[in-house]
Amino acid sequence: MSLSEFIGDVRDALKKHNAAALCKFLEINPQDNKGPLIARFNDPNDFDLYEIDERFRNVIKSYIKLMKSIYLVNDIKKSFEDYNEMVIQLNRYAELQTNWINLTLMKCCKELIGIYSVMEKSFPEEIKNNNQSNEIFTDRKQSALEILANTINKSFKLSLNDKNLDLSQSKRIDIYFFLSILIKIYFKLGNIELAKSIEKALKGTRFELPAFNKKLKDKASAITYLYYSSILSLEDSDFKSSQSKLESALNLLSYYQDISRVKKNHQKILILLLPLKLYNDKKIPKDIIWKQFPTLKYLYKDNLFEFILKGQIFQLNNFIIKVQAFLLKSNLYLLFENLKRLCMISLIKKTVHIHQSLNEDTKTNHIIPFSAFNVTITYSTHGKSQKDYTENFDEIECILASLIADGFIKGYLSHSNKCIVLSKTVPFP
Amino acid sequence: MSEEEKIVQTLEEDDEFEDFPVDSKWTEKSGGISGESLWEEDWEDDNSDEFSEELRKELEKSRK
């Protein structure tokens, strides 16, 4: 195969909008071992490329340069730079194309990430240090991961800003592919603000985006995007939105043919969803989940949820300390700070139940003295019996007032009588 | 290292949402890993557990 034959093949693929063929012509490992052959092509000039769309000429030039870096120079860093340049040029070409180009663009983005991964494995320390460089020095060189993010961001914007009203004909049809890669890179860079900015851009669009249902073509990307997006909602303490995103992710995952192959991802979704469901809906999963995921059983059923549902403050606090590194890393720490309130409600319910069983007068057993809560809350907080329970009614009153104000308890406080008068019908809505 | 410590360590180390396998296959029908059927109707308040008994004893003691 000569340079002119190669250019002729690319020209035909472009004319016919044959994305599959174009993907093959831009392979870094082309069929029949043609890689070294392509690497030895002369650099094409404008005369060689005169039949090619002007915007695509630079794609071909970058591709041949890339093949030289791979097969002749054997330099992975140079290969990454060249491949990145090729995707930048492809983005430029894609600006004036319909969504037929998406397939080629996605394939090239995937391959660019593949090259980045090889580079990361080849020079782990260098890449890691570069990615973690102090951002105060604004004139520093961009890290490879930032370069990658910038390029994928351009592809994402191309997709988001396609104004074609017909979604099936629009580049937006593949938006979750670019979005999932981009949000994952921003998390890897530790730059949550950038991740939030693309969420903002997404919310700001007035054009239709693919729905998260069984008809969605690229469910894997949508699940990945929804997972990271739910973490952003967790960061903002928007627990309802976080739960809703995870439920959508789980729903899409249910269409996976062999779920055991993606068990780690399934577990990662459930790690976040389970405490959110407890907090938002007061629901816990059925036993089947605990059987499938022993790690979750240990973490939640046997410990965190157990202490919350029983009202064991001391045990809950201790276990939170034990797993706090994990909770912080998973952005769950704040949620569990909120779930401590649920633990307190469980304890208060128990106190009311026990007090009522000890009080024989049914006419007054909806009135509970602060002293009863003082005993149980002190006992639960310290995890052991006290010789005497020092009266700390101001704190008790504050706890109860706050729970009444937030609608967890129905009733009113009597400061002078040092008691709470509960609703006779629904004390705990 | 105890079994519990191993679990905690695994949880701390495991942070990236993995890429789906290249040859992933998707079906038309949902496999039933989501939806309301996954959740208990409501969690029952258990007032007969050991901790409730401990609280009862403390309350009784304080009434004397």
Buried b (16+ CB within 10 A) or exposed e, A170-202: bbbbbbbbbbbbbbbbbbebebeebbbebbeeb
For chain A, residues with pLDDT lower than 50 are 134-138
Residue A107 touches partner B, C-beta closer than 8 Å = no
Judged by a CB distance cut-off of 8 A, whether residue B40 touches chain A is: yes
Give φ, ψ of A335 to 5 degrees: -60, -40
CA distance A344 to A350: 10
Answer whether B62 sits within 8 Å of A389, measured CB to CB. yes
Quick check: B56 and A358 CB within 8 A? yes
Contacts of A254 in chain B (CB under 8 A): 30-35
- pLDDT value, residue A136: 45
B2-24 average pLDDT score: 84
CA-based diameter of chain B, in Å?
Answer: 71
Which residues from B are below 8 Å from A295, CB to CB? 7, 10-11
**Interchain pair A283, B54: CB under 8 A:** no
Q: Mind telling me how many Å the CA of A209 is from chain B's nearest CA?
A: 21
- Do the Cβ atoms of B11 and A326 come within 8 Å? yes
> What six digits make up the tokens of A391?
């009266």
Could A255 and B28 be called an inter-chain contact, meaning their C-beta atoms sit closer than 8 Å? yes
Q: For residue range A181-224, list pLDDT tens digits in order.
A: 999 999 999 899 999 999 999 999 999 999 999 999 999 999 99
pLDDT of residue A137: 44
Closest CA in chain B for residue A181:
B19
**Hey, are the CB atoms on A351 and B33 less than 8 Å from each other?**
no
Contact A299 B54 (CB under 8 A): no
Facing residue for B58 by CB, picked from A220, A284, A379:
A379
**pLDDT given at position A131:** 65
Residues 13..32 of B with a Cβ closer than 8 Å to A: which?
Answer: 14-21, 24-32
Across the strands, what pairs with A369? Answer: A419
Q: Does the pLDDT value for residue B30 go beyond 90?
A: no
Mean pLDDT of B11-29: 87
How far does A8 lie from chain B, in Å, by closest CA? Answer: 31
Alpha helices in A123-262 (DSSP H): 124-131, 144-160, 175-188, 192-204, 219-235, 239-253
ipTM confidence: 0.91
Question: How far away is chain A from the Cα of B33, in angstroms, using its nearest Cα?
Answer: 5
User: What's the whole-model pTM score?
Assistant: 0.91
Cα separation of A43 and A60, whole Å? 9
Full DSSP string of A111-144:
HHHHHHHHHHHHSHHHHHHHHT--TT-TTSPPPH
Question: Average pLDDT in the B26-53 region?
Answer: 83
How far apart (Å, rounded) are the C-alpha atoms in residues A371 and A69? 78
Q: Which residues sit opposite A411 in a β-bridge? A: A422
CB-based contact A385 B58, cutoff 8 Å: yes
User: CA-CA distance, A162 to A171, in Å (whole number)?
Assistant: 6
Interface test with B, best of A184, A256, A323 (most B CBs within 10 A): A256
- Which residues of chain B are within 8 Å of residue A349 when distances are taken between CB atoms? 45
Give the strands of the sheet with A367-369, arranged side by side.
A367-369, A419-422, A411-414
Nearest CA in chain A to B8: A323
Residues 166-185 of A with CB under 8 A from B: 184
Q: How much of chain B is helix, strand and coil, in % rounded to 5?
A: 45, 5, 55
Distance from CA of A212 to the nearest CA of B (A): 13
